[in-house]
Amino acid sequence: MSIFYAQLLTGLAYGMLYFMIAAGLTIILGVMNVVNLAHGTLFMLGAYIAFTFISDELNFWIALLLSVLLTAVLGIILEKLLIKHVYGKELEQVLLTFGLSFIIADVVKWIWGTEMQTLSAPALLNASLSIGDMVFPLYRLFVVFIGCLLALLLWYLESKTRIGAIIRAGVDDRAMVGALGINVGLVFTGVFAFGAALAGLSGVLGGPLIGMYTGMDSEILVTSLIVVVIGGLGSWKGSFISAILIGVIETFGKVWFPSLSMLIVFLIMIVVLIIRPQGLFGREVA
Amino acid sequence: MEKKKRFLKLNITGLIMMIAVMLIIAGCAQSSGTSGNTGSSKEESSSGLLKIGFILSQTGTFAPLSEGIINGFKLYLEEHNGMLGGKKVEIKVEDDEANPQVALRKYRQLVHSEKVDILVGPISSAVVYALRDEVEKDKKVLIDANAAGDDLAWSKKSNYVYRASFSNWQNGSSAAKYLANNVGKKAVILAPDYPAGKEVLRAFKAAFEAAGGKVAKELYPKLNTNDFAPYLQEASAENPDLIYAFFTGSDGIRFVTQYKEFGLKGKIPLAGALEFGDELITQPTGEAAEGIITGINYSPYLDNEQNKQFVEAYKAKYGKLPNIFSVEGYDSAAMIDKAVAEAGSVRSEDLIKVLKGISFDSPRGPITIDPATNNPIQNFYIAKNELKDGVIVPKVIEMVKNVTMPETSPFE
């Protein structure tokens, strides 16, 4: 029986990682109505930046902090320079962010090469825990913990703070919020930077789990888009549930039907979309 | 509200279409690289010059393997004044990007434009099968320096292709009997889901069960798996006496590392194909590789005079220990050296007469090219990785002499 729990825990760790990635994507989507297809690339960039710092003998936690900061700064630059010109124009957004993802991916290849790399988990968490007769690496539990922490933080920000109130209002009626004297442009920049920082954070935390390689950006993007679609566009709560669902199902699928594990994820998406076209937690379309 | 509704609908369909596009792109994404060209000369092949064309995979996962082969080959050349079989050697190296189509293009360039006399390579079995049909047509000798596909010795055997390395069958079967007799009867086996993985496990399973063992479960993660967690948990839940695995390159490094992370090291004995005893994996994994039992055909620690000299020379030239791929390159050169000297010619028709049954001493031990399969008959060594002064040394427990492939496939 303990194999079942161990696999469940592995799936949960994946799910939390997917949640961390999808959260940034879905927040940007929900607040700004921007589909940021460069999100996977920011994830990759976060991991590689941390990799460089750690290769320079820097502490994992400092590397993590610096990566998150740098991806956030990059987010601000991208938003100020490019994204802000395409608000409300969906096709342009898709083309712009998709193009960006190619450019950044090529830059990553150019700087770091095409060889597969792995981030090593921080020394503090480089231990294992026994669960029955199964052993589980501590680092994965840490990823689960951070995922839960992030969910709590998002809940708090959304429902208990002024920023959350502004954002909620801004989603419903942007013009009204603007009329109240709130700088919507600034809020949007902040949200985009926050989303980019989340991508960077999950990149660093995911490094020890899934490694770093060329093509990881599009793989992650596909997974997180699926998470977001299943969960309901723009709903981080939906992403939380669907990320866990996908992480767990994918893990079991890998063992039970190794060659079908990706297909299963798509099947879930199709079923969900047939039953609830707006996604599990999507806003009811009246 | 009307506007919002339309917007949501458009977004969902748009997103799903994007996902489809993305998947296609992710699937097609191929790392591209530039091909190296080592100083060209327009000189036509004349009696005094031996032109050798290499088709290797210098970009991507296989790059370190290709580097080992070239290094080994060049070392042999240097030790023999740049001559093989009494002829001055000129080499051309091309990168096939592990892609049969690219390999065929590079092949045509080497054979038809550069007019090389002999080909050496490739790394990938898919590539060797593609090249095999071409060399058969053009009657050009190919020394297979690495690709281990079994069928090259059986249904796809060619009079023009001679293997310097080893076959998947040899790799998978060599340690099976020892493991069944000395470690345990119940095994879980794992390999990547591609032809070499399937072939190594097929050979292991047949030999292991013939020795009274039982394979309780076979797991095939996809090639380039980042995380083996679900497979490791599944394997250990079977409570086997041992786990046997075949993973190469970065897959191998991750597998061995995660085996320790998930607490299986020291709990269930890990055994594996020769790659788990090779420098390319044991060096980066370090302590995690301790205790793994393998059937290797080479290690820089093998105790024979020729190996000692080879290791010394290799270390002096490249500043690191040779691995199995270095020896494959070195032996490819030795094979050509001997064949050209014996044939007294570089013409393919003359070379294939002497390549069949050719034998020579290698740092890995004596080698004979089996005329029945064109595959080398060679010794394998059952070894256990030991940690000595911070480095992993495969300690030889037992020698399996003259591992010879069956003449025809036992699996049909």
Percent of chain B having pLDDT more than 70?
89
Q: Is the ipTM of this complex over 0.85?
A: no
Mean of all residue pLDDT scores within chain A: 88
Task: Tell me how close the Cα of B71 comes to any Cα of chain A, in angstroms.
Answer: 20
Mutate which of B3, B4, B12 to test chain A, going by most A C-beta atoms within 10 A? Answer: B12
| pLDDT on residue B20 | 60
Q: What is the DSSP string of B211-280?
A: TT-EEEEEE-PPTT-S--HHHHHHHHHT--SEEEE---HHHHHHHHHHHHHTT-TTTS-EEE-GGGGSHH
Residue B296 has pLDDT above 90, yes or no: yes
pLDDT category at B261 given cuts 50, 70, 90 is: confident
Give CA separation, B102 vs A63, B97, B160, in Å: 40, 7, 21
| pLDDT on residue A164 | 86
* Tokens, residue A224: 């997180």
Nearest to A209 among B14, B60, B227 (CB): B227
Q: Which tens digit of pLDDT belongs to each residue from B355-402?
A: 999 999 999 999 999 999 999 999 999 999 999 998 999 999 999 999
Q: How many CB atoms lie within 10 A of CB B357?
A: 13
Cβ contact, residue pair B263, A215, below 8 Å: no
What is the maximum span of chain B, computed from C-alpha positions, in angstroms?
A: 88
Residue B35 has pLDDT above 80, yes or no: no
Cβ proximity of B187 and B244 under 8 Å = yes
Residue positions counted in chain B: 412
Residue A96 has pLDDT above 90, yes or no: yes
- Summarize the confidence of residues B315-327 as an average pLDDT: 95
Cβ contact, residue pair A90, B8, below 8 Å: no
Residue A208 has pLDDT above 50, yes or no: yes
Cβ contact, residue pair B18, A255, below 8 Å: no
In B, minimum Cα distance to A247 occurs at B230
Residue positions counted in chain A: 286
Cα–Cα–Cα angle for B376, B382, B388, rounded to 5 degrees: 120
Q: Which tens digit of pLDDT belongs to each residue from A36-63?
A: 999 999 999 999 999 999 988 889 999 9
Q: Which tens digit of pLDDT belongs to each residue from B127-173?
A: 999 999 999 999 999 999 999 999 999 999 999 999 999 999 999 99
Contacts of B81 (CB under 8 A, 6+ apart): none
Q: Which residues of A218-245 are buried (b: 16+ CB within 10 A; e: fewer)?
A: bbbbbbbbbbbbbbbbbbbbbbbbbbbb
pLDDT category at B27 given cuts 50, 70, 90 is: low
Nearest to B25 among A218, A258, A282 (CB): A218
Q: How many CB atoms lie within 10 A of CB A91?
A: 9
| pLDDT on residue B47 | 59
Weakest-pLDDT range from B140-154, B221-235, B323-337? B221-235
Helix axes B63-79, B305-318, angle to 10 degrees: 110
| pLDDT on residue B44 | 40
Distance, CA of B194 to CA of A75 (rounded, Å): 40
Give CA separation, A212 vs A67, A111, B194, B279, B366, in Å: 15, 13, 22, 22, 41
| pLDDT on residue A214 | 79
| pLDDT on residue B28 | 47
A 49-88 residues with CB < 8 A to B: none
Cβ contact, residue pair B230, A7, below 8 Å: yes
A135 in B contact zone (CB under 8 Å) = yes
| pLDDT on residue B159 | 95
Identity of the residue numbered B244? Y
Beta strand extents in B67-128 (DSSP E only): 83-84, 87-95, 118-121
pLDDT category at B14 given cuts 50, 70, 90 is: low
| pLDDT on residue B18 | 63
Residue A80 has pLDDT above 50, yes or no: yes
Percent of chain A having pLDDT more than 90?
47
Residues in chain A closer than 8 A to B97 (CB atoms): none
| pLDDT on residue B33 | 33
Nearest to B237 among A3, A225, A279 (CB): A3
Weakest-pLDDT range from A278-282, B4-8, B152-156? B4-8
Task: Evaluate if pTM is beyond 0.80.
Answer: yes
Distance, CA of B110 to CA of B54 (rounded, Å): 8
Cβ proximity of A13 and A144 under 8 Å = yes
- Summarize the confidence of residues A176-195 as an average pLDDT: 87
In B, minimum Cα distance to A37 occurs at B18
| pLDDT on residue A199 | 96
* Tokens, residue B316: 């002096």
Distance, CA of A177 to CA of B229 (rounded, Å): 48
Mean of all residue pLDDT scores within chain B: 89
Q: Scanning the structure block, which residue is given the tokens 């992403």?
A: A239
Q: Alpha-carbon torsion A161, A63, A74, A225, what sign?
A: negative
Mutate which of A32, A41, A218, A268 to test chain B, going by most B C-beta atoms within 10 A? Answer: A218
* Tokens, residue B46: 């004349």
- Summarize the confidence of residues A183-194 as an average pLDDT: 90
A225 in B contact zone (CB under 8 Å) = yes
| pLDDT on residue B214 | 97
Give CA separation, B294 vs A161, A229, B303, in Å: 60, 47, 17
Cβ proximity of B126 and B100 under 8 Å = yes
